[in-house]
Amino acid sequence: MSDKIKIYQKPTCSKCRTTIGLLKDRGADFESINYYDTPLSVQELRSLVDKLGIAPRDLLRKGEQVYRDLGLAKAELSDDELIRLMVENPDLIQRPIVVKGNKAVLGPPLKASMNSSEPPNVSARVEKRCQKVLKQTDRQ
């Protein structure tokens, strides 16, 4: 299993850019995959969900217009149907997804500093999750 980290991201996403910056600062060897330019297949997304250890519904971005348009809050869909919808509508996929070997973590929300004119710092949770991925060894 490869030790190289993969980050599935959207370049315009601030959480993605922050996570990539953190990985660069740590000197991590990683591959950045823009899943808008290189769309995920159903099999690839299913694999990511498995590595995350979550249900497909937990990967949905509930604040997106497409989520509301498709009525996903009320829809009773199977995991396979949700994965298919996320592949067809990548705005529905939470990001970034950081993968190393057979484990993955989902980038948590950042909390901006309200009392400063400086850019927000990376939250401790983002750093902790990235460190978790970076520390994974050949246990996989």
> What is the C-alpha separation between 114 and 120, in angstroms, rounded?
8
Does 16 qualify as catalytic in the annotation?
A: no
Residue of 2, 13, 49, 117 with catalytic role: 13
SS3 62: coil
Nearest CA to 30 out of 93, 124, 96, 87 is that of 96
Residue located via tokens 């298919």? 84
Classify residue 20 as exposed, middle or buried by CB count within 10 Å of its CB (0-12, 13-18, 19+). buried
The set of catalytic residues is 13
